[in-house]
Amino acid sequence: MTKVKSYLSLIKFSHTIFAMPFAFIGFFIGLFEITSLIPGWHKTIFPPQFNWKDLGIKFGLVILCMVFARSAAMAFNRYLDRRYDAKNPRTAIREIPSGIITAKNALAFTIISSLLFIGCTFFINQLCFYLSPVALAVVLGYSYTKRFTPLCHLILGVGLSLAPIGAYLAVTGHFSLLPVIFSLAVIFWVSGFDIIYALQDEEFDKSEQLYSIPVWLGKAKALRVSELLHLLSAAAVVTAGFVGKFGWLYWMGAAVFVFMLVYQHSVVKPTDLRKVNLAFMTANGIASVVFAIFVIADLFVSL
């Protein structure tokens, strides 16, 4: 059990709460799209001629894909950053620099998680399987970006934004505008809060010649960029509401999501970073979970 806890800590399993709810949104949007095309759907949640057992299996595979892809990405990030983590007082207690998990085992964990992710996509559909290396390239490639560009936060956002599109593809097997809009909301949302999180390491990153928006622009201007990105995220959420013709429950969820964006900027100041973790984990965790619950509930209520 101790080893399991160590690996869960290595990959920050609790942070799955950020993208997973958006994967659920993509999945249920896809579900409601295909079931509405089945004769006999009308106003019933369980239409005839639909294989709910297969859907349940696919839903489980989507969850596993999310877990494995994110596990691979986090383990690889910790593996690549082990030298920097050992030097940074804030991160020196992490599993690899502290010796709890060896670098070799972290890399092996990355490879195994990546293979399991690809394996799961194989059982979902052909399109997801063919696109799985692209998804892995994005989520694993992010770990290199802070070595050469301050736009690394946007790459992280792109990685997590694959959740609603990927889950939608798992159900429908084709692309559509609505999940893409939700993905844009995720890109801007994640990029914005990652900038806030990076404020803590501005001085260290400078000393190690690493790149980030705070290093590039300073704390105050970095927060302005974060605010702009979160404004764009809110705009994407509103746009999705109109494009998807959602009802009042969606707009309640959207209001909570936007409020949590505003809240995190109210508690973090350039000269006071004591509440960064509150903004990063609590505010964003609430934003994603509550929003997803209201979006999915709206889909059922609109039947």
Query: What per-residue confidence (pLDDT) applies to 303?
Result: 62
Q: How confident is the model at residue 37 (pLDDT cuts 50, 70, 90)?
A: low
Q: How far is CA 100 from CA 68, 78, 81, in A?
A: 21, 13, 15
CB atoms within 10 A of CB 123: 13
Asked if residue 212 lies in contact with residue 202, where contact means CB atoms within 8 angstroms, the answer is: yes
Distance CA 228, CA 182 (A): 17
Residue 43 has pLDDT above 50, yes or no: no
What tokens appear for 127 in the block? Answer: 């399109």
Distance (Å) of CA 130 to CA 6, 124, 221, 264, 299:
32, 11, 40, 38, 30
Lowest mean pLDDT among 27-41, 119-133, 184-198, 276-290: 27-41
The whole-number average pLDDT for the span 19-41 is 81
Would you say 180 and 188 are in contact if contact means Cβ atoms under 8 Å apart? no
- What stretches of the chain show up as alpha helix (H) in DSSP? 2-10, 20-35, 52-80, 82-87, 103-122, 126-145, 152-172, 177-198, 202-207, 213-217, 219-243, 248-267, 276-277, 284-301
pLDDT of residue 275: 85
Q: Is the pLDDT of residue 40 over 50?
A: no
pLDDT tens per residue, range 222-263: 999 999 999 999 999 999 999 999 999 999 999 999 999 999
- Token readout for 62 is 């989507």
Per-residue CA distances from 197 to 88, 142, 190 (Å): 15, 16, 10
- CA 296 to centroid of chain Cα atoms: 18
Percentage, residues of the chain above pLDDT 90? 78
The alpha carbon of 188 is separated from its chain's Cα centroid by a whole number of angstroms, namely 11
Q: CB under 8 Å to 155, separation ≥6 — which residues? A: 138, 141, 142, 145
> What does the pLDDT read at residue 128?
96
Q: How many Cα atoms occupy the beta-carbon half-sphere of 55 within 13 Å?
A: 17
This prediction has a pTM of 0.93
**Span between the terminal Cα atoms of the chain, in Å:** 45
How far apart (Å, rounded) are the C-alpha atoms in residues 2 and 58?
A: 31
Q: List, in order of start, the domains of the chain with CATH numbers.
A: 2-301 (1.10.357.140)
> Is the distance from CB of 48 to CB of 112 less than 8 angstroms?
no
Query: Could you tell me which residues come within 8 angstroms of residue 113 by beta carbon, excluding any fewer than 6 positions away?
Result: 68, 69, 71, 72, 75
On whether the CB atoms of residues 139 and 69 are closer than 8 A, the answer is yes
Closest to 230 in 3D by CA, of 198, 256, 267, 191: 191
